[in-house]
Amino acid sequence: MHLTIVGLDGVGKSSLMKNFCIKGISYISSPSFQEGDENPYNELSKDLEELSEIADSKKNVALKSILMILQTSLFSKIEKFHYKSCTDIISLRHPLIDILVYSQIYLKLLDFSNIDDLLTESQFNEFFLNKKNAKDYYLSFSNLHKTTSYIQILHIFKKALTLSRADALKEVAKLLEIELPKKCLFLDLDPKVAIERLRKNKINELHENISDLESLRAAYFNVLDEISHLNQSFEYLVIDMEKTSVMEIQDKIKKCYIL
C-alpha cells in the first residue's frame, strides 16, 4: 500500500517524518528523492535539485517548470525500485496530487505570451553544461515523448492542465507514468504560519507568498475531494496541524498499516 503525506510548504512534513520509521516500509521524499545510497537515482536527483534552485534564484519560470517535470517524472521509477524489496511505501508529497493542486500556479506562470525568459535550445543546453546526468535524462524524457525541444514539453504539460480535472488526472498520470496512492494525509496549516516558517529559507520558491499559499490551500481541499469522487479506492484524511501533535499524527500513520 502507498500512503502519501501532502500539504503546503512549511506545514512540517519533513519534520514529521524525521527519525520516524516503521519496519518494512520504504520512504520517498518528493521531489528531492535522496533517501540514501541504495537509491539508484540519488545523484541524478541531486543534480536536478541543484538546477532547480538555480532556476529559483534566477526567477526563470521556463527552467523551473521543465525541471519540476523532470524531477516528478523520477517518482514512479523510485517507487518501482522500492516495491522490489517491500510492499508498503510512505511518500512526502505525491506528484499527481500536487501537480493538480499547483496547476493554477503553473498555468499562470506558463502564459508563454508573457514569458520573457524563454531560452533558445542552445542556451537551454548550456544550462545543463556541468550536469551530464541531468542532461542525458532530459534527452531521454524528450525522446520518450517525441519532442525536440523543452518548450514542446512545456506545451504538452500546459495543455494537460487546461483539461477537466478528470482528464487532467489521466493525462498527467500518463505523462509521468504514475498512479494515485491508496491513502493520503493532508496536513493543514494556516498559510500565515507556513509563510513565517518559509521566510527562514535562504531561497524561496516562486509560489511562496501569502496570496499563492492561500489559493493552494483551497486547491488541496478541492482536488482531494474531487479525486476521492473520481476514484473510489482513494481515501484522504485532513489533519489540523495546530491542534494535532506530531506523536498523534505518527500514530495515525501507523494505524494506516494495521490490517
User: Which among 173, 185, 179 has a CA at the least distance from the CA of 257?
Assistant: 185
Domain count, the chain: 1
User: pTM here?
Assistant: 0.85
User: Which among 66, 219, 241 has a CA at the least distance from the CA of 147?
Assistant: 66
**Structural domain boundaries, residue 243:** 2-256
Sheet holding 25-29, edge to edge: 25-29, 88-92, 2-6, 183-188, 235-240
**Tens of pLDDT, residue by residue, the chain (259 residues):** 899 999 998 888 877 777 677 777 888 887 776 555 467 888 899 899 999 888 888 878 888 889 989 999 999 999 998 888 888 889 989 999 999 999 988 887 777 665 556 777 788 888 888 899 999 999 999 999 999 888 899 999 999 999 999 999 999 999 999 999 999 999 999 988 888 877 766 455 556 678 888 999 999 999 999 999 999 899 999 999 988 888 888 888 887 765 4
- Report helix, strand and coil shares of the chain as percent, to nearest 5: 55, 10, 35
- Return the CATH number at 174: 3.40.50.300
As given in the structure block, the three cell numbers for residue 197 are: 516558517
